[in-house]
Structure 1
């Protein structure tokens, strides 16, 4: 039995997220599994490096699966791209050791959030960026971003339901750049809780609009009270950019 690693790009606009939901075929995982099961002649389950929310996109989601059929990497890639919808692309397929696990072996993830920061909407990027029409103060946002770096309990910045799961995560870097009307926020860490990135970006937006003082972030983290985080960024502007192994 071969173990295959997939690198996947997708436009999440019309999907309910990565994770398969019963018989609902409006998920990325579900679409890929259905095609692979046809190729393999058996039920295939794929393991993703993480779950992206409804509407969130991916530039390089990583997944792996095993099957008995002895197909080459090129055969798998060609079959997937022939039968998957055109808003999901498999850009690389490779054989990996049997013990490779896309979720457990991931060391870090990088998310990118695109914000269109002009008075008028962007007609071509409305599904791929968040629109904030009032001018954001980039320097204040950069100052605020420093409070998220390092290891923290991110209970306040998550909507995760499990109380048994550790809420401690480490943020390695958080960079904010401006590019022709877009503000790009890139955050890299050892892992992210449900809605964590969107809530962090929401706080940075509030700081940029002058609605929140950067120095309040440590207090919000320490409180572990989700109600204090306020705004959550829209899913349309969020991309899973990279997964490190």
Structure 2
């Protein structure tokens, strides 16, 4: 809840995570998205601002639909929060909208679903462009095999085999609502929506699907990994470069602004951008 005299502000945020050691501020002083954003907003407020986010992304991971909130006594227009923050932010972080929220809103705990996209560039030659914004796979990928394997993940399961060893989630039980794979020339987009995700869950799923797509394992291997509930059996964790948090969903009462789904370089592909 919001203390007396304060108001709660929610922001939409997008960033390229390549230069940062993840979202969360760290004691070691390494650059993080949270630190940069708090510094920029504190300049706008002329007082310290502390942020809470919908999902803490790892080092190298990007976002086009992150949601954060903070409480403040300071009176600023919504435009001032957006434009003022952006003036003080580096080129790879942007605030996209601001909204005054009711006291019971919470960016993390009120979220009902989260959606990620993992973008793979599949070609024998590594790309010179977008090198930190896609994951390069040089072996040919069979998307149909990957789609067949992905079917095993739909619904509610124990995702212990897909969580990082340092994951702090209380339960490995999560529900995947959809997992789509689409191909666009040399790019393959994995689009996944769930009620919540474990630490490294999307990257571990991508790693297993890539292994199956390259023919190194059979389609049914994914089910064996899932049922085995052992992280050690799940293969490698895919690189962070192609991963984007593209949307966080909340109950309709909060009526948060919605932008098109990212990342930006996919915006010319209607079947990728569409909110399927």
TM-score (norm 2): 0.86
Aligned to 1:169: 174
CA distance in 2, matches of 1:21, 1:207: 36
Q: Which of 211, 228, 236 is residue 231 of structure 1 equivalent to?
A: 236
* RMSD, aligned CA: 1.3
Secondary structure at 1:188's aligned position in 2? strand
1:36 aligns with 2:41: yes
Q: Which of 145, 152, 168 is residue 140 of structure 1 equivalent to?
A: 145
> CA offset at residue 218 of structure 1?
2.3
Question: Which digits, 9 at most, give the CA deviation of each residue in 1:132-157, with x for residues without a partner?
Answer: 11110010000000001111111110
CA distance in 2, matches of 1:59, 1:28: 13
Change (3 A) 1:114 1:163: closer
> CA offset at residue 42 of structure 1?
2.9
Secondary structure at 1:156's aligned position in 2? helix
Aligned to 1:185: 190
1:16 touches 1:53 (CA, 8 Å); kept in 2?
yes
Question: Which digits, 9 at most, give the CA deviation of each residue in 1:70-123, with x for residues without a partner?
Answer: 111011111100001110000111111111100011111111011101111111
CA distance in 2, matches of 1:126, 1:41: 38
Aligned to 1:214: 219
> CA offset at residue 217 of structure 1?
2.1
Secondary structure at 2:241's aligned position in 1? helix
2:167 touches 2:199 (CA, 8 Å); kept in 1?
no
Q: Which of 45, 49, 66 is residue 71 of structure 2 equivalent to?
A: 66
Aligned to 2:96: 91
1:124 aligns with 2:129: yes
Number of corresponding residues: 245
Question: Which digits, 9 at most, give the CA deviation of each residue in 1:30-72, with x for residues without a partner?
Answer: 1111222233233221110011010000011011111110111
1:114 touches 1:185 (CA, 8 Å); kept in 2?
yes
CA distance in 1, matches of 2:60, 2:169: 27
CA distance in 1, matches of 2:120, 2:111: 27
- Please identify, of 219-228 and 99-108, the stretch whose mean Cα deviation from structure 2 is larger: 219-228
Change (3 A) 1:201 1:65: same
> CA offset at residue 161 of structure 1?
2.5
Aligned to 1:104: 109
Runs of 5+ in structure 1 lacking a partner? none
Secondary structure at 2:14's aligned position in 1? strand
> CA offset at residue 162 of structure 1?
5.1
TM-score (norm 1): 0.96
Runs of 5+ in structure 2 lacking a partner? 1-5, 251-276
1:81 aligns with 2:86: yes
Secondary structure at 1:144's aligned position in 2? helix
CA distance in 2, matches of 1:23, 1:35: 20
Runs of 4+, deviation exceeding 6 Å: none
> CA offset at residue 236 of structure 1?
0.5
